A and B are shown apart, each in its own frame.
Chain A
Amino acid sequence: MNVGARHMNVAASEQQAFEALFTAEYRRVVGIANRVLADAHEAEDVAQEVFIDFHRLHSAAADYAPAWLHRAAAHESLNRLRGARRRQKRELAQAMEEGERTLDPQKQAELAEDRRRLREGLGRMAPKPAAVLVLRASGLSYAEIAKALGIGIGQIGTLLRRAESTLRKEVNRGTSN
């Protein structure tokens, strides 16, 4: 086989591996971003960016691929959450979504306000506990979180408990004011 043909084969198998990785992980990566942003369109935007970044630099056959994607999705969406300009847009989208439901409007407004505060608090948290929280809320196992964030599995539970407690206090503080 000549050099050109071998390159083409390598490129073809890399493309196949990327497609398989995309099919297997895309939903979950969107889910992680959506958990943070509560905006399906923006979440898809984040997911696609994360996949493009991964594909540029890494081999889709790498065994760290899913872990890399999960971490990047959490970090990228948390970064966006911290962007003030986008926050307004998201709050509006979320408010409209909530408004469409037919629960008690008073309760609905309170819940929406708590969720807004939750994400505000999340944006203020240190990156590591925030990412642990988001990945867990997105359904990742402790082992998957440990792998994605490169931390010991024994630390996950403690980080999670502390993060939940901190965040709840932030939400409650807003409610009592």
Chain B
Amino acid sequence: MVDDPDARVGVDAAHLDGCAQCKSQFDAIADDARSIANLFAVPEPRVDVARAYARVTEGGAKARPAVRLQLPFGRPLQLAFVAAVAVVSLVVVAFAASGLLFQPTKVKPVAITLSDIQALSQLSDYGTFAWTKEPSFQVTANAADASAVAGGLTPPVVSKLPAGVSTTVTYGGMSQAEATFTFSQAKAEASAKAQGKTAPKLPANVDGATLTVKVGPAVGEVYGNINQPANGTTEQVNLPQLIVAKSVAPSVSSTQVTVTDLKNVILQQPGVSDELKKTISAISDPNDVLFIPVPVEYANSSTVHVQGVDGVALGDNTGVGAAVVWVKDGHVYAVAGTIKQSDAIDIANNLK
């Protein structure tokens, strides 16, 4: 009624006119509102919309990337390890692949250092990476829309949120994506030469071989505000309180490469730590294992039992960051966020 004079009609208006108490209350409220509105008054800014649009599109909003994967460097710790897990798991999955088809049914943590990540990233010099089907990622307002983007895969339902986690939820879906990596001795030599080095020799059957990696479709939900910088600078991008995701287990197929060949390629890579070499050598049958690379500088890992299967838990109980990953019935699940590890395990076990 204070805001809208038209609302002051009929029974209410008649009551106000006759009731001194209500009238005085109403007058006080109206007075507050007028006074605040007066103090809030500012000159209307002169705005050039077209110029502002040009500035915004030139300044980075021009092309919306299909998938946002950002490197962890210079970001807060908790984001660093989640991003590292996401990025490096694809690399390790690709290179731990074997035979004709790899589809994990189990998860296993592999300790990895930042120098290992750098060493393994040099493997991209050994061939050519290409998307045969690019992933398209879409943030949606509800679960049904996310499911539609992900070809019908339904987002997992969190039945028990820990206290303090926001109930504001945003859904997302990703279509299935397919990429190939074709090994090339010639390319390896060219890039090594450019750096003044000699490329290690690829096994004969690896040169020219193609790995086909399929990831997704995937769906998930984010609790809390996504990517709301506290002060507008990129250094303060916050990890959402909770991310829950489900993806069809990635698969890798190859025309002619065996797991021994790939193990050898990784082992002869300069810069790979003895620790990782030892772990890789000890892998006897990686055909059905999804390796979760754990950046040892940032996170602890342990094996946990969730949803009746063995999973990997990362992080700790400080609430800085924790994640649980497991594979069940052909799907990979992940629960991650700025929560305690015990809460992450609890959410995982109560996921519907």
State the A residues within 8 Å of B (CB): 3, 7, 10-11, 14-15, 18-19, 22-23, 26-27, 30-31, 34-35, 38, 40, 43-44, 46-49, 51-53, 55-59, 62-64, 72, 75-76, 79-80, 83, 97, 114-115, 118, 133, 136-137, 150, 160-161, 164-165, 167-168, 171
Contacts and interface: CB of A to CB of B under 8 A. Distances in A.
A23 B226 CA distance: 24
B53 A23 contact: yes
Interface size on B, as a range, is 35 or more
Interface stretch (B39-47, B112-120, B263-271, B323-331): B39-47
A118 B39 contact: yes
Contact of B139 (A31, A43, A57): A57
Contacts of B68: 56-57
Contacts of A47: 52
Contacts of A79: 230-232
Given A165-B29, A168-B32, 11 more contacts: A22-B49, A31-B45, A57-B227, A76-B229, A79-B230, A80-B232, A114-B39, A136-B3, A160-B33, A164-B32, A164-B33
Contacts of B134: 3, 7
A55 B61 CA distance: 6
B303 interface: no
A43 B45 contact: yes
Contacts of B47: 26-27, 30, 44
B232 A46 contact: yes
A48 B36 contact: no
A168 B36 contact: yes
21 contacts: A3-B133, A3-B134, A7-B136, A14-B64, A22-B56, A26-B49, A27-B49, A34-B45, A40-B43, A44-B47, A47-B52, A52-B61, A55-B56, A63-B141, A79-B232, A97-B43, A161-B32, A165-B32, A167-B36, A168-B32, A168-B36
B56 A168 contact: no
Contact of B231 (A15, A43, A80, A136): A80
B195 interface: no
Chain A interface, >50% SS class: helix
Contacts of A59: 138-139
Contacts of A49: 232
A175 to B, nearest CB: 11
- Among A23, A40, A57, A72, residue most surrounded by chain B Cβ atoms (within 10 Å): A57
Nearest to A116: B39
A47 B51 CA distance: 13
Contacts of A23: 49, 53
Nearest to A75: B228
B21 interface: no
A64 to B, nearest CB: 5
B52 A48 contact: yes
Contacts of B168: 150
A52 B52 contact: no
Contact of A58 (B43, B139, B230): B139
A132 B59 CA distance: 30
B63 interface: yes
Interface string B43-73: 1111101001101100111111110100000
B35 interface: yes
A47 B232 CA distance: 11
A22 to B, nearest CB: 5
Nearest to A134: B40
B5 to A, nearest CB: 15
Contacts of A30: 45, 47
- Among B32, B35, B59, B136, residue most surrounded by chain A Cβ atoms (within 10 Å): B32
Contacts of A19: 53
A39 B351 CA distance: 47
Contacts of B55: 48
Given A35-B42, A44-B45, A133 B36 contact: yes
A115 B39 CA distance: 5
Contacts of A31: 44-45
Contact of A56 (B46, B64, B133, B230): B64
Contacts of B228: 53, 72, 75-76
A143 to B, nearest CB: 13
B204 interface: no
B290 to A, nearest CB: 27
B37 interface: yes
B138 A48 contact: no
Nearest to B172: A57
- Among B2, B43, B232, residue most surrounded by chain A Cβ atoms (within 10 Å): B232
A84 to B, nearest CB: 12
A99 to B, nearest CB: 13
A138 to B, nearest CB: 9
Contacts of B29: 161, 164-165
Given A115-B39, A137-B36, A55 B64 contact: yes
